[in-house]
Amino acid sequence: MAPQTPRLVVPIDVKKRPWEQRLPLHNRWHPHIPPVADVTEGEIFRVEMVDWTGGRIGDNNSAADVKTVDLTVTHYLSGPLRVLDAKGVAAKPGDLLAVEICNLGPLPGDEWGFTATFDRENGGGFLTDHFPSATKAIWYFEGIYAYSPHIPGVRFPGLTHPGIVGTAPSPELLSIWNEREKKLAEDGAGSLTLCEVLHQRPLASLPTAKNCLLGLIEEGTPEWERIANEAARTIPGRENGGNCDIKNLSRGSKVYLPVFVDGANLSTGDMHFSQGDGEVSFCGAIEMSGFLELKCEILRGGMREYLTPMGPTQLHVNPIFEIGPMEPRFSEWLVFEGISVDEAGRQHYLDATVAYKRAVLNAIDYLSKFGYSKEQVYLLLSCCPCEGRISGIVDSPNAVATLAIPIAIFDQDIRPKSGKVPAGPRIVKRTPDVLKCTYDGNLPITPNPGAEKKST
């Protein structure tokens, strides 16, 4: 007998706000957010999701919605789902939950997405000291391909995936998260040398009741107030999985998640049509609404069997990911290298973050020679299927990072040739540009002394 059609357990109406959905969504991690549905291991079920903003970013001709977006809304998740075995016994703390992605895609009738950079005063991002303004590009989908009127001359197949798949933390694990992230925020940027050259903001996103959505827990009740003020934000990935933004988790992939509470309380969201390694513009995938068709298996006692704690407690573990067989095929790549020397020429010791920043900046400057604005390239490298690598992490003092870009996504040959970059018909100014707001803040912008001297 043919298998049944996947059971829809979390439906979404994209015309409604997150709190108006038939099964309410949530945007925080907490052990006491109740499950909205049960699923049984072995069954294939369907979960639908809004984009991470819940519809706050529109398919329009302005980046003002990105500039003013309140990031306390992130991310709207579908779930939690309680996972049961065939006998109706729930997953238990210490188990490992294997979640297989059977199918996924955009929601029918909502086949578009966006890539953006946040204003430096409101979230910033990986290169916010070079690109402080809010920008946005809209993408439209044609089957497996994406194209943007704001970044003409590129078209590529998407490796669609969920940015977030995670289980609920236990009270003890939640306390660990909040204590360590609070200490980071209290110590401040002055305690971290990296903050002098990588100006991401803020250092940590601590619990806040502002814009908190807790699923079935009714706002205004004492329970809601308590949970809202201690629930963890969904922005970073943690021991429970969460916002890992691994672009290769597409069809056929599996996620092996540790279970910390009865039922596991599985949640997912932040769907991406495509993303580059690092998601460097921060709002940097092609963000969209979408669906997942999933199948779960409970590995009893799997945390002890397969996960080794890397920390002071048995809770300091991390998920395992199994990449599926479905990926775009590219045979030619242009690779940009970066080393751990910052824009001022200062040497850092084996700092892979500084090295990756250099690789991305090198790629942006190079591709801007072919008719693109630097803002167009920055957004493109955040969402196209480029490959980031830590190529060297042992040869003192320079870490080496690389960024590989598939040549075939461009409508022109971007490889170096003898002589200067060709002019004329081969180099077309890629207009219109991305949607862009002014930067009205007072934070300093990092110059590139080498580029300035070269242009004079």
Query: 306: which 2 tokens?
Result: 């397969």
Strand partners, 283: 116
| pLDDT confidence tier of residue 182, bands split at 50, 70 and 90 | very high
What pLDDT is attached to residue 236?
A: 96
Residue boundaries of the structural domains of the chain: 7-327, 333-427
Query: 329: which 2 tokens?
Result: 């095929």
The answer on pLDDT for 187 being more than 60 is yes
The answer on pLDDT for 235 being more than 70 is yes
Report the distance separating Cα 346 and Cα 340, nearest Å: 9
Report the distance separating Cα 46 and Cα 81, nearest Å: 11
Report the distance separating Cα 56 and Cα 211, nearest Å: 13
The answer on pLDDT for 452 being more than 70 is no
* Mean of the per-residue pLDDT values of the chain: 95
Q: Residues of 364-392 as b/e, b for ≥16 C-beta within 10 angstroms? A: bbbbbebbbbebbbbbbbbbbbbbbbeeb
What pLDDT is attached to residue 184?
A: 95
* CB-CB contact of 96 with 241 (8 Å): no
* CB-CB contact of 75 with 241 (8 Å): no
The mean per-residue pLDDT over the stretch 337-344 comes to 96
What pLDDT is attached to residue 392?
A: 97
pLDDT digits (tens, 9 = 90+) for 274-289: 999 999 999 999 999 9
The answer on pLDDT for 215 being more than 50 is yes
Classify 333-427 by CATH class.
alpha beta
Report the distance separating Cα 181 and Cα 287, nearest Å: 27
Report the distance separating Cα 98 and Cα 90, nearest Å: 14
Q: How far, in Å, are 60, 114, 273, 290, 306 from residue 110 at the CA level?
A: 14, 12, 12, 8, 40
CATH 2.60.120.580 assigned to domain 7-327? The reply is: yes
pLDDT digits (tens, 9 = 90+) for 33-74: 999 999 999 999 999 999 999 999 999 999 999 999 999 999
pLDDT digits (tens, 9 = 90+) for 102-131: 999 999 999 999 999 999 999 999 999 999
Among residues of the chain, what percentage have pLDDT more than 70? 97
